[in-house]
Structure 1
Amino acid sequence: MREGSLDAPVRHPINWNDPDFYDMDKILAEMDRVFDICHGCRRCFNLCDSFPVLFDLIDESESGELDGVDKADYKKVADACTLCDMCFMVSCPYVPPHEFDLDFPHLMLRYRAAERKAGHNDVATDQLTRTDRNGRLASMAPGLANWASDLDNGLTRGLLESVARVDRQAALPKYYGKTFERRAKANPAARDAKAPAAGRKVVLYATCFANYNNPNIGEATLAVLARNGVEVEVAYPQCCGMPQFEQGKLDEVAEAARNIAKALLPYVDRGYDVVALVPSCALMMKFEWPLLLPDDAEVKRLAQATFDVTEYVVDIAQKEGLAEGLRPLEGGVAVHIACHARAQNMGNKAREMLKLIPDTPVKQLPRCSGHGGSWGVLKGNFETALKIGKPVARDVYKAEHKYVSSECPLAGMHILQGMERIAADQPEGERKPVPSQSYHPIELLAMAYGLGPAGGASR
């Protein structure tokens, strides 16, 4: 039950085509209103760094109130927001339909969009988040790309920090020479026509991360769905636009939404469900795209046909039952529930799915990993990201589960780095080993089915 409203939270369309959306005076006035309400509440003090930054600015001002804060410092608050949506979906009692009508993340998005409209562009971050271009180039020479991004490569990591502001200590995802889309076409999984979910049809939206950085997520999904009798196709028109959304590049996101809807709706028309492999992409497709393009019937129709991968597997389990053959994962699983999975308002499907594996302890980690997409790898943000994610890393380190899992692959990598920091602070004789890799939950379900070792895709 929410403090100020008994109704479920609702979101307004993002009026990015209205010139007033980019009027900085009006944006600052709205930030005055919202920040003053946040100052009086402070329920979100332990979420992303936006709120500590805001509250510190207020507390350290001469008046101790918002009127003592220089409006130029509002940028610090906006820049610290990772658009995780946890304040809106979980903590804030004043979201619409409450009369205060707060949507903190979308206000920060509006500020960034206005900055960009005014010509204040971050060239380094812009280049870093061109995931399709970067993925295509890196897949041509994955050995070189992975050598250059390796944490032990002081020469190239120092250069990357200087040029692209990527912290030299931040772990970066690896690249593969053969994308998931190409692998799926070359080796389609043979489905079991007698399995429980026979008759279902799915088109997997590969996502840029699974396509270029971890094809094993896609291959595991393909294998699990085929084992359960689902007919599967794989498509990857382009990135969903989340990296551009975070920067306020709303015109690019809208274009991506229209292009992907046009590519995937023919599958929907033939009775296919759409399944996204990474929660950030599912969130964009199901919720953010329809808010950006509320009058686009194709985008709305695609949103209604889209599922997150763990959500879809749980739906099979509840309606038809999963195929037999799941074996225990000895040592248990610590599973991080990604913020963008929670923001889909579908429940903790990753935990529900992993609990289907027999005799396997599952520890749920509901707090934020701190990573925040491209935000968390940047110089000046990385240490803050580790600080935010320390409670999660500490919980996993203490729990000693064999497998560390997150629906968000970047969050999983970040949690491991946090665990390594915690281990390094322990007396040498008391340090516990940190797992060498984290897994998407669907990889672990595939492993429990005996469908190949998770993380086994060759580069």
Structure 2
Amino acid sequence: MREGSLDAPVRHPLDWQNPDFYDAEKIDAELRRVFDICHGCRRCFNLCDSFPRLFDLIDDSDSGELDSVSSEGFKPVVDACTLCDMCFMTKCPYVPPHEFNLDFPHLMLRYRAAEARAGKISFVDRQLTETDRNGKLAGAVAPLANWATGTGNRLTRPLLEKVADIHRDAHLPEFHGKTFKARAEAQAIEVDRTAPAAGRKAVLYATCFANYNSPSIGEAARQVLARNGVETVVEYPGCCGMPQLEHGELDRVAESARTVAAALERYIDEGYDIVALVPSCALMLKFEWPLILPDDPLVAKLAKASFDITEFVVDIAKRQGLADGLKPLDGGVALHFACHARAQNMGPKAQEMLKLIPETEVTLVERCSGHGGSWGIKKENFEVALKIGKPAARNIAKATKAHVASECPLAGAHLVQALERLGDDVKAPAAASHPIELLARAYGY
């Protein structure tokens, strides 16, 4: 039996429609098998809070081994997993095709899927995952919603903490009265037909975050692509289902996959590339959906046609070359390498893209922000999330760059909060940018 695998990692489709997938005894047996391997290895001790919780649980047991640990102690380990995939992608020597066949994040997902099927998702957690409904409702009263959710509001945030278990100091994204899709439909952008990439076409999959919370990401992408001759169409058939994936609602994720894949098929047939604006959503389209619906031809077709926005710009640069006109970003960029961008196994495309800007130094920070989607805003997790993100914040501060960026908008905002806590000698930016926004700025937009 060899230590570690010499082969490229592979991921098996999720057998979520098999009743055994939800069998409590079978799940417990697999948890014990995997946890025992993790206990003997411990390479992941510094990734997230799941592994310290697991190792403390074992070390504090009567025997110091897994045999004296009660299964009731496993839930906090599962709850701490943010499905960032970094253990699978960067640390674990026992992932498939190794004979140990260890996929820690998808085992945590299986546990949560069983909880979801048993009706154990709280009412509040279910409401937090309804991003489309929440975006529409909050967008209709955006000024009021943003006032109520602002971190400086000591009237409403303590109440929100009590009712929704959202930490009063956790940054929450703002809402906009006009979605990115509506803005795109109302404003035509002139495409440079003389640019090297003229003739390429792309559908910008808006994602719920860019659509409702940060239209500037989509607007920057449209400007950059138009400058490079790319014709764009903005579509948003619905959320990718990542919020539901976090809670194990695999049937709802599958429904989202079928809906979006069916809506975008005609564009693929017409020669469009599909470009997601947020890495978590790109990860869903390219990797998670095909593992949940491995026999769905439309899902497979979409996966092959999909790009992350930074990946797409780098592809243009390599195939056709970028349009002229980029100006230096004074002071350089400290770029956080978002976990769901890393999990796409494509390399640091945002860094590659920003290095195309002349005379602009880019420092890559390859540590987790600690945010983990809706996990990091919860009252019981927020301080832990900041602790996990502290090394990344320190590295950003050490880089002393004028611009801070992350492909994950939630991670970027969380890291700004972590920077603010490092001390008075650290100057935190007002906000972190998405890399495509910085590229647009370098073009003069």
Range class of TM-score, shorter chain: over 0.9
- Alignment partner of 1:432 is 2:426: yes
Deviation at 1:128, TM superposition (A): 1.0
CA distance in 2, matches of 1:147, 1:111: 37
CA distance in 1, matches of 2:317, 2:230: 13
Once the two structures are superposed, what CA deviation does each residue of 1:27-52 show, in whole Å capped at 9, x if it has no partner?
00000000000000000001111001
| Counterpart position of 1:69 | 69
**Which piece of structure 1 moves more, 407-416 or 388-397?**
388-397
| Counterpart position of 1:454 | none
CA distance in 1, matches of 2:140, 2:119: 33
Q: Percent identity?
A: 68
| Counterpart position of 1:52 | 52
Once the two structures are superposed, what CA deviation does each residue of 1:129-163 show, in whole Å capped at 9, x if it has no partner?
21000000011010000000011111211111111
Deviation at 1:183, TM superposition (A): 0.5
Deviation at 1:3, TM superposition (A): 4.8
3-state DSSP of counterpart to 1:204: strand
- Alignment partner of 1:445 is 2:439: yes
3-state DSSP of counterpart to 1:155: coil
Amino acid at match of 1:187: Q
Once the two structures are superposed, what CA deviation does each residue of 1:79-131 show, in whole Å capped at 9, x if it has no partner?
00000000111110000000000000000000000011112121111111210
Q: Is the 8 A contact 2:419 2:426 kept in 1?
A: no
CA distance in 1, matches of 2:126, 2:394: 33
CA distance in 2, matches of 1:240, 1:214: 16
| Counterpart position of 1:214 | 214
Q: How does 1:1-400 map to 2 (within 5 A)?
A: 3-400=3-400
CA distance in 2, matches of 1:443, 1:119: 41
CA distance in 2, matches of 1:281, 1:82: 15
Amino acid at match of 2:83: L
3-state DSSP of counterpart to 1:405: strand
> Unpaired runs of 5+ in structure 2?
none
Once the two structures are superposed, what CA deviation does each residue of 1:307-338 show, in whole Å capped at 9, x if it has no partner?
00000000000111100000000011000010
3-state DSSP of counterpart to 1:350: helix
CA distance in 2, matches of 1:39, 1:101: 16
3-state DSSP of counterpart to 1:154: coil
Amino acid at match of 1:159: L
Amino acid at match of 1:396: I
Q: What number of residue pairs does the alignment pair up? A: 444
Once the two structures are superposed, what CA deviation does each residue of 1:215-263 show, in whole Å capped at 9, x if it has no partner?
0000000000000000100000100000000000000000000000011
TM-score normalised per structure 2 = 0.99
| Counterpart position of 1:411 | 411
3-state DSSP of counterpart to 2:126: helix
Deviation at 1:394, TM superposition (A): 1.0
Amino acid at match of 1:433: K
CA distance in 2, matches of 1:400, 1:173: 26
Once the two structures are superposed, what CA deviation does each residue of 1:260-295 show, in whole Å capped at 9, x if it has no partner?
001111100100000000000000000000000011
CA distance in 2, matches of 1:341, 1:68: 38
3-state DSSP of counterpart to 2:274: strand
Deviation at 1:188, TM superposition (A): 2.3
TM-score normalised per structure 1 = 0.96
**Which piece of structure 1 moves more, 57-66 or 431-440?**
431-440
Amino acid at match of 1:337: F
Deviation at 1:433, TM superposition (A): 2.4
3-state DSSP of counterpart to 1:331: coil
CA distance in 2, matches of 1:5, 1:93: 6
CA distance in 1, matches of 2:119, 2:301: 34
3-state DSSP of counterpart to 1:223: helix
Deviation at 1:376, TM superposition (A): 0.5
CA distance in 2, matches of 1:335, 1:433: 16
CA distance in 1, matches of 2:9, 2:421: 38
Q: Is the 8 A contact 2:420 2:426 kept in 1?
A: no
3-state DSSP of counterpart to 1:11: coil
Amino acid at match of 2:434: H
Amino acid at match of 2:5: S
- Alignment partner of 1:422 is 2:422: yes
Deviation at 1:399, TM superposition (A): 2.1
Once the two structures are superposed, what CA deviation does each residue of 1:19-76 show, in whole Å capped at 9, x if it has no partner?
0000011000000000000000000001111001000101111111111211001011
CA distance in 2, matches of 1:383, 1:330: 33
Amino acid at match of 1:355: K
What RMSD, in angstroms, separates the aligned Cα atoms of the two structures? 0.9
3-state DSSP of counterpart to 2:421: helix
Amino acid at match of 2:76: K
Q: Is the 8 A contact 2:48 2:370 kept in 1?
A: yes
TM superposition outliers: structure 1 runs of 4+ over 4 Å: none
3-state DSSP of counterpart to 2:405: strand
Once the two structures are superposed, what CA deviation does each residue of 1:400-451 show, in whole Å capped at 9, x if it has no partner?
211100000000000000000112xx4xxxx232110100000000000001
